[in-house]
Copies of this chain bind each other. A is one copy, B any other.
Amino acid sequence: MCQLLGMNCNNTAAINFSFTGFAERGGRTADHVDGWGIGFYERSGCRVFHDDQPACTSLLAKFIRDYPIQSRTVISHIRKATQGEVSLANCHPFQREWQGQTWLFANNGDLRQFQPALNGHYLPVGSTDSELAFCWMMQRLREQFDEWHRPPTWQELAPHICAITSEIARHGNFNYLLTNGEAVFAHCSSKLCVLHRRHPFPKARLVDCDVSLNLGELNHADDRMAIIATEPLTAEEDWVPFQTGECKVFVNGEEVWRHVNASTVRFPMPTHSTGRVWANPAVSV
C-alpha cells in the first residue's frame, strides 16, 4: 500500500515539518520506495512535484523539505506499488482540470475487478487503479454537474463524491485525498487519521525521525489546520482515526462535513512482494 499526507488551513502554512517525517517513510522508517509526489495550492495557483525515486533519498524531496512553500492546501503521497509499474506517470497526486479548477487526487488502496466505463473525458496516463478511479470520479462529477456554468461548492459536491466513493470502495480498500484547493475530501476504507491543530499550539515531535518543533512560535492565535495522514506523524498529539466508510470534508482548516457509508468494508491487506517493480505493465503485486 502507500501513505497519504494532507493539510488544509485557514491561513497559509508551510508543510516542511510534517513532510520531513512523512518522507522518512519513503525508504527509511517504512518501505514505500516506489516514488512520491506533493501538490501545493498557493495563493496564486497550484503546483505539483513528482519523483520516481524513494522519498528518503530523492534530491527533489530534499529540496522540498528545505523550501518553505506557503500553502492553504497540500496533498502528498509516497508509493509502494500494488498496481502499475514504478514510473513517474504512476506517482500521485494525479492532476486534472475541471471547471477551470485544478483537482488533485492521491490514493492508498488496492481496487480489484474495477473496470469503469470511461467516456474519454478523462483517461489515465499511467497504469494504476488509483488514476483510473480518479478519472472515473471526475467523469461522474462532470456528468452530475453537466451544463453548470460555475464550479459547484463543496456543499454541492460532498454528497455526490461520497456516493461515488461508496461504489468504488466495493472493489477494495480506497483511502484517498481529493481536493480542488479549497476543500479536501477524504475517505477511509482501512486506515486514515486526522489531527486538528489550533491555539495553543504544542511543541510537536515527529515519530519517524528525531525532529521537534515548537509550533507556537510559527503559528498565530487564529491559525487552524487539519493534518490528515495514513498514520500519525507526531507523538503526543490527538490523532483521531477515521471509521471505515467515513467521508470527511475539510475547509479553512476545519472539518465541515462527514458521512459514513455503512456498506463500505475494510478488505484484508494484499500480500506484497518486497522488491521494487520496474517498468513492466504486466506486473501487478
Contact = CB atoms under 8 A, between A and B. Distances in A.
A126 B45 contact: yes
B45 A90 contact: yes
A266 interface: no
Interface in A46-87: 46-52, 59-60, 63, 67, 86-87
B88 A45 contact: yes
A46 B100 contact: no
Contacts of A120: 99
Nearest to A41: B88
A218 interface: no
Q: How large is the interface on A (under 10, 10 to 19, 20 to 34, 35 or more residues)?
A: 35 or more
A96 interface: yes
A42 interface: yes
B89 A44 contact: yes
Interface in A230-268: none
A279 interface: yes
A27 interface: no
Contacts of A47: 48-51, 88
A95 interface: yes
A29 interface: no
Contacts of A100: 123-125
Given A59-B67, A67-B59, A46 B88 contact: yes
A122 interface: yes
Contacts of A43: 87, 279
Contact of A45 (B60, B89, B99): B89
A101 interface: yes
A191 to B, nearest CB: 27
Which 3 A-B pairs give the minimum distances between C-beta atoms?
Answer: A45-B88, A44-B87, A45-B89
